[in-house]
Amino acid sequence: MSKTIDLQVGKSETLIAGLRQHLSELSDKGIHAATLDGMEKDLDSLRAANEECDRLRAELSQKVRAMNGVLQQVKDSFAANKRIVKVSYPQEDWVKYGVTDKR
């Protein structure tokens, strides 16, 4: 669970518990059991959404690692083939082979 979500859940649970203990005093202020039940339902929804986000983050992290591996292979292949052109042909011919680097 992310720190932000964890802190908010903890603070909300503490508030709900405190409000439930003094519900009779707070009913004239508009705080009723249904209000607190709604807050608890919202907390449950928040926990579920956060769990889904954590799962998606983990899945995304794996996919990003795999993509970075493929990217490194592409970069290595690019550099190796570009190097062959640069050492085999004069600079003015590089552009024919797709090498735009003029250094």
For residue 103, the model assigns a pLDDT of: 61
d(CA 20, CA 14): 10
| Element counts in the chain: helices (H) and strands (E) | 3, 0
| pLDDT tens readout for residues 33-88 | 999 999 999 999 999 999 999 999 999 999 999 999 999 999 999 999 999 999 99
- Mean pLDDT, rounded, of the chain: 95
d(CA 76, CA 71): 9
The sign of the torsion formed by the CA atoms of 8, 14, 20, 22 equals: negative
